[in-house]
Amino acid sequence: MDVEGERPPTGRTRYKMDKAFLRKRVPPRAPKEEGDIYVTNKSNFKGQISQCTKLIESVGYVCMHGLGAAIPRTINLALQVKEKLGERFIMDVKTSTVRITDDFEGLDEMTESKRDNSAIHVRIYNPEDS
């Protein structure tokens, strides 16, 4: 089986193998709270910096979540926001593993494939406000 790197313009089909498809499902997320931001590689970086600072001013904290390939971008965003805010803010970093399910649609049947993906959660807050 030859795997092509072909990706259609719509849908989340990842690999096309003769008439079989691997569809990546959307990763599970915890219920979004007021100070949460989910970082992706497609997000506008400058827009997220300003969104983080606005959240800290209004809510008092911001929690950035990054998954897989977006982890370095999440770390960079957190460092930029902390540098912009100053030394009185504290950065709390946690890592986790997220179980992701993919659907493999073959010629006759559909099967599920499970895989693990790394995640990072960075919380920036002012301890004086807590």
pLDDT of 6 over the 50 cut: no
Cα 57 to chain center, whole Å?
Answer: 23
The pLDDT score that the predictor gives to residue 127 is 87
The pLDDT score that the predictor gives to residue 79 is 96
The pLDDT score that the predictor gives to residue 101 is 82
The pLDDT score that the predictor gives to residue 5 is 46
CB 26 within 8 A of CB 102: no
Query: Which of helix, strand or coil describes residue 5?
Result: coil
pLDDT of 1 over the 70 cut: no
Q: Which residue has the higher pLDDT, 34 or 105?
A: 34
Mean pLDDT of all residues in 120-130: 89
Neighbouring residues of 4: CB distance < 8 A, sequence distance ≥ 6 = 15, 16, 17
Tokens of 8: 């259609």
Q: Dump pLDDT digits (tens) for 48-102.
A: 999 999 999 999 999 999 999 999 999 999 999 999 998 899 999 999 999 988 7
Neighbouring residues of 118: CB distance < 8 A, sequence distance ≥ 6 = 67, 68, 71, 95, 96, 97, 98
CB 124 within 8 A of CB 52: yes
In CATH, what is the architecture of 13-125? Answer: 2-Layer Sandwich (3.30)
Cα 66 to chain center, whole Å?
Answer: 3
Query: Which of helix, strand or coil describes residue 63?
Result: strand
pLDDT of 8 over the 60 cut: no
